[in-house]
Structure 1
């Protein structure tokens, strides 16, 4: 294929340098090749929150494609992609193993599976993407566009197969670059991933015909997205909902203490004391984190009465609490949210529907001889799905418990009769993950849902990060990781109209991937690859 049209001057030197680098990296074999792929994957992980070093992808993705140049067979291409994914997921998800240290005596043997086993499984997705890319036999710009399509499809499959795990999608590298993040309001996080991969991998085409121009266009694209996002933010409202003042309670309780039944009364009293702290402005509603109440409220009138004493006038305490259903069949347990009024009555509930495998239930329980890592031996049951909850004194809300907030397009109720919520409420318990990158990543992902949906998001976390995010992803109030205290804040207003993504979902993604595919085919046929 014609791929070495000689540029002049600086362009010629750039192409020569790229060619030499490509040759040296492609020549790596054996363990050196796989070590390089793992290292490049770890570099890509630094683009994720909390670092948000997106420019590092300009090193990681071209390096990956240079390694692919040295693969003669499909299985070698798969191994390169798998190794890159393994490095990416080990560096980005190491914090999952921290949860197992809460009960180290029982779960120490699972730590290697969490540290290496899960990344090994997730690496299959990147391995398949590189295997397919190798089979297409493309070069230059065409190959980069095809790579962006296949990488994004791999992310999409990872986010949907079985229960799905759409964590650390490449588009999240822009959470720290708020103007660029505005683009998810139009194309969603998967669409931003596709654009990111295409632009950041394009330097791999330098030295091929059209590669330098395509690289410049990719960088200009993100400059354009920055300008478009900046303009969008110039018209962004800072208005808040009149008559609503929220208090988020962050007790900073360690997970080991939360598991200790002897400490439950003390932890419960701590929530009550924090809720009763004097406020500089009247608070209307108090929000506690996930599983902040260790008791079944339907059975425990004393707990309801204690909560009622700290409920603001005509307000509510909204708290995470387990719920038990004992009538009409086997006993069921739910990870739930309950809204309690000043009379001690539960006036609204929500049951988590997207449960954490091995944390809230054991998949294939009849085959796997292990217990879930949370307390108790009985699995939680799943709720019916996203819903809009109407609560006294508040705009309609879509509750989300823990990692339900990580699933794009699945955070609000759907259907003709569904009421559009005016805000998202995320109760979570990130105490499992200590002072690691996990809670920072979780908070960043939650911020992205706010931009996608055009809805403010309120997040109450046991150890942090708790905060209030407006419909543009701007953090208006925040309590940091590990801090104990309360956060009093107004509730930002929602956008007057749903975003393009909220209306059309991933249709923009499929259009974008189709355009990339057509362009890749067209460039190949024109001999411009």
Structure 2
């Protein structure tokens, strides 16, 4: 039997080229299944798994699919199938919220598949337009820039849903997160996609010097960890407010039990027991989570007085509560609110949530969906919540000014700080009991941490079932209570950084302008080169 030996003149890396061409030439359901699988694999990089190296497989393979697509239409569907797999795996936790009230369980297949199917069109647009760019490094650059632009659009259109921005994969690394102080989570995502997708160029046949194909990846890693490490090394040390000592309460009440009238007194006593007790330093601010009290704080004087007994002397209780108009006021309205309550039971401040959750707190296109399809919001009651006026900086006696963010308002990187005086800290109250023990609460927590990095402000988080935490202005967790844990956190309030971050001054616009400029320039170059 003859023995074959590898050709010494051949490139031992040619198997990458062969694999890329074979992958790109797939057709039918084999191609669609591959794209879905790559999207699912990419979702493993998201919190809480943080398997970031999987992006070094999923994004290069997606580029190879684009390269093998005969036209932009085929490339569009490659991206759409990728997006379907990616967002289904990343957003599966939505199903948990529909199991709290079993009347909505029938919606699970629609929510788990239809929402990713709609969001998948953003990824389809990315791959379709990337197909118009020259193959090679130029296509990789355009792909990353397009991903960034459409991720921004996803956070803006149809009320916005920027959940699971690709930059959030770095929430496990305090060092890698720091780049967001300059370019935001959007810019961090741009570098992440470019670095990962750039490895697709190793499939180029007979390059002059093979290792040069790794330069974009290596440079991106150096920038990511070099900038972050330098910022944490030479940045100003974190200080603490000497006269502000917090107590954060996490009662861990399951969502199915939360609004039972028969459990009202038990739930309130749970809060009171956790709120009272000694501390190393006198508590000046007590914080309860979103819709903490099982009654309408503004209308139930009896229970408000009982709640106020937990407020620290010469301090305040900050608590989430449903707020409504009086029953005889037409139209009847309801808000998701934050109240500041004095030890005497007086409400000294009210702030209403301004960015409501579609289908959770209101039904979009309600005249059609309610009337013709009979849809209801998944929270209790038939009345849609009303939005508040918007973000603002709140000043209360003896407490540094702060900006409140209720529930998923914290996932939006822009529009979290109102006009006027800049706050000294961010407050995020939430109730993630809706999502059970799933990836949802971890993803929510990761995005909250990025707001601290971007703004250079500490963030205090109070969550019903977790994750409650004290986060410093570098996004580092000082103290926290894990998911599904009952307890409290006592901590001094971290001070903000004295110097504003670059991102807090300029926002996303520089990254978007650069990305759009690159897209136009490289696609135009392809068009020019194709002309006879």
Work out whether the TM-score is over 0.5.
yes
Residues 358-377 of structure 1 aligned to structure 2 (within 5 Å)? 358-368=359-369, 369-377=374-382
- 1:3 matched to which residue of 2? none
What is the aligned counterpart of 1:125 among 90, 115, 122? 122
- 1:264 matched to which residue of 2? 264
CA distance in 1, matches of 2:511, 2:227: 18
- Helix, strand or coil for the counterpart of 2:19? helix
CA distance in 2, matches of 1:11, 1:403: 55
Change in 2 beyond 3 A, CA 1:19/1:375: same
Contact 1:142 1:524 in 2 (8 A): no
- 1:453 matched to which residue of 2? 455
- 2:5 matched to which residue of 1? none
- Helix, strand or coil for the counterpart of 2:297? coil
Contact 1:458 1:469 in 2 (8 A): yes
CA distance in 2, matches of 1:11, 1:523: 33
CA distance in 1, matches of 2:225, 2:35: 31
Q: Does 1:25 align with 2:26?
A: no
CA distance in 1, matches of 2:140, 2:48: 27
Q: Does 1:392 align with 2:391?
A: no
Contact 1:321 1:335 in 2 (8 A): yes
Contact 2:66 2:75 in 1 (8 A): yes
Q: Deviations over 1:305-350 (max 9, x none)?
A: 1122111111111000011234975222110000101111111111
- 2:46 matched to which residue of 1? 48
CA distance in 1, matches of 2:407, 2:181: 22
Instruction: State the aligned residue count.
Output: 513
- 2:296 matched to which residue of 1? 296
CA distance in 2, matches of 1:75, 1:520: 19
Shift of 1:260: 1.8
Residues 325-404 of structure 1 aligned to structure 2 (within 5 Å)? 325-326=325-326, 329-368=330-369, 369-404=374-409
CA distance in 2, matches of 1:284, 1:202: 52
Contact 2:238 2:497 in 1 (8 A): no
- 2:96 matched to which residue of 1? 98
Q: TM-score, normalised by structure 1?
A: 0.93
Shift of 1:511: 3.9
Shift of 1:225: 2.5
Shift of 1:514: 4.5
Contact 2:146 2:515 in 1 (8 A): no
CA distance in 2, matches of 1:510, 1:442: 24
Q: Does 1:149 align with 2:134?
A: no
Shift of 1:76: 1.8
Shift of 1:53: 2.1
What is the aligned counterpart of 1:183 among 179, 182, 201? 179
CA distance in 1, matches of 2:291, 2:76: 42
CA distance in 2, matches of 1:319, 1:10: 72
5+ unaligned residues in a row in structure 1: which ranges? Answer: 1-8
Change in 2 beyond 3 A, CA 1:524/1:393: same
CA distance in 2, matches of 1:380, 1:447: 27
- Helix, strand or coil for the counterpart of 1:348? strand
Contact 1:142 1:519 in 2 (8 A): no
Change in 2 beyond 3 A, CA 1:236/1:51: farther
Further displaced range: 204-213 or 245-254: 204-213
- Helix, strand or coil for the counterpart of 1:400? strand
- 1:5 matched to which residue of 2? none
Contact 2:252 2:486 in 1 (8 A): yes
Q: Deviations over 1:82-140 (max 9, x none)?
A: 11001100110000111011111x11110001211111111111111112222x15200
- Helix, strand or coil for the counterpart of 1:51? coil
CA distance in 1, matches of 2:39, 2:240: 42
Q: Deviations over 1:349-379 (max 9, x none)?
A: 1100000001100111111121100001100
CA distance in 1, matches of 2:63, 2:114: 25
Contact 1:101 1:107 in 2 (8 A): yes
- 1:491 matched to which residue of 2? 493
